[in-house]
Homo-oligomer: A and B are copies of this chain.
Amino acid sequence: MLDDLRNMLGAGAVDDSPEGLASHTHDWYPGALLRDRMGTPVPGPSVVVRPRDTGEVAAVLEWAQVTSTPVVPFGGGSSVVRGIEPDGAVVIDLERLNSISEVDEKSGLVTAGAGVTGPALRDHLAESGYLLGHEPQSVDISTVGGWVATRACGQLSAKYGGIEDLVRGLEAVLPGGRIVRTKTAPRRSTGPDLAGLLIGSEGALGVVTEVTLRVFPLPTERADLCLRFEHMTEGVQGCRVLARSDLGPTMVRLYDAEDAALFLRHHPDEPMGPLLLCSFDGDDSDLRRERAAELIDGTSGNDDLVAHWWEHRNDAVEEFRKVMAGEGLLGPHGIVDTIEVAGTWTVLRDLYHSVKEGLSEAAGLVGCHVSHVYPDGACLYFTMGSMCKSDAEAEEVDRKWWEITMRRTLDAGGTISHHHGVGRVRAGWIEEELGEWFEVLRLIKKAIDPK
């Protein structure tokens, strides 16, 4: 196998070093990090290859089909749902697919290789005065290809949408090595949305190699608004009227009392209770902020907290890493996990209470925030933490959190994943989520990937 791959890609592109394998063994799934902490890491890949271009990706996939070798595409490895666990497979690390085109300023588009990282793209765009608008918490450790493959959605989705709204053109290699390209177009009615099959396919239907994305001018001004509520229900109502208005917020987040306490842990003088943060940018930001303050029935809060959020919005990644390394506030056997689900405004209240109640019985602390809003519903993002007596207990606790959240979400009419994807951790519930579509997906998978 190694000889095959070396002949195909050159020796420098084939890595079976202990370090190479170790760094591609798993993603940021807490269960996998726990296994590391326990000294019993999950089994890694057999080899890591780093193709230089789409043609080489195609060659690897053709070879994989002929030899019936399982392969796993790898971007930043920042999934948190057991999306990467190669277990003997060949990992295709896409880091060398790192070219970025000049910004097409006329159409507001940029084309980037799947391996381009968040920071590389951000810096490149900023040079021309643009931003992507896709800002997941993992933006510093994830890649363009990963965003598309997992159907990611950033924290500024209220303005910029999810990755599916940003992708305007796409190149991918399907199993067996077939290269497909979706022409860049603002819209089309030329049959079903085929590129949409790859957005969220998590590697099952092909490897995304290049993407053309919308970009937006860097905003020059920003107006922040912070509101407080006595009860979460009033805050949710506030999110709803804002999402249904024409005011165009860039970011909307509502923390429940427990999540607000977490967010405000370095602000001991702030009052407790549900907290709404939102920002407006672009034309007439101040006016729109004003209108939102009038529209939403809440108490004025400290607007500086919104700037604090902007500054520290991705700190959770490092804090998560610390806890899972046994170095955080939850002690040597601490466990922390996050699970995001979504629902229409109609089911959201029951969904929130049901999941929160269930998790509260199974975790030391549970916070929840509304992290993404839409005219018809929202994402509920739960964060759970527990101090455990052993790592084995931590494993069991995490397993329970997933069981509770998935079961109660399905029962309440919610959808089991908003933007983290399915991975192996949600695999047990996906058939119930998709219903008869699950079997259709199986048929499509078989048609595209007969082996």
Contacts and interface: CB of A to CB of B under 8 A. Distances in A.
A375 B160 CA distance: 11
A200 interface: yes
A226 interface: no
A309 interface: no
Contacts of A415: 183, 185, 188, 190
A185 B375 CA distance: 11
B447 A187 contact: no
A180 B216 CA distance: 37
A148 B64 CA distance: 38
B180 A192 contact: no
B188 A192 contact: no
Interface string A186-212: 111111111011111110110000000
A16 interface: no
Interface string A335-347: 0000000111110
A152 interface: yes
Interface in A403-435: 413-422, 426, 430, 433-435
Contact of A192 (B185, B199, B372): B199
Chain A residues touching B, range: 35 or more
Contact of A446 (B164, B345, B447): B447
A396 interface: no
Contacts of A282: 245-246
Interface stretch (A4-12, A37-45, A104-112, A116-124): A104-112
A175 to B, nearest CB: 11
B434 A108 contact: no
Interface stretch (A47-55, A86-94, A283-291, A352-360): A283-291
Q: What is the oligomeric copy number?
A: 2
B191 A202 contact: yes
A23 interface: no
A185 B344 CA distance: 6
A341 to B, nearest CB: 9
B441 A192 contact: yes
Contact of A194 (B287, B345, B375, B440): B440
A214 B244 CA distance: 11
A355 B223 CA distance: 45
A182 B287 contact: no
B441 A190 contact: no
A107 B418 contact: no
30 contacts: A106-B346, A108-B375, A150-B189, A151-B189, A168-B376, A178-B440, A180-B437, A180-B440, A181-B436, A186-B374, A186-B375, A186-B377, A187-B379, A187-B418, A188-B417, A189-B200, A189-B417, A189-B420, A189-B422, A190-B416, A190-B430, A191-B202, A191-B422, A192-B199, A193-B196, A196-B197, A197-B197, A287-B287, A444-B447, A447-B447
Interface of A: 104, 106-109, 150-153, 162, 164, 168, 174, 178-194, 196-202, 204-205, 214, 216-217, 240, 244-248, 282-284, 287, 291, 342-346, 372, 374-379, 413-422, 426, 430, 433-437, 439-441, 443-444, 446-448
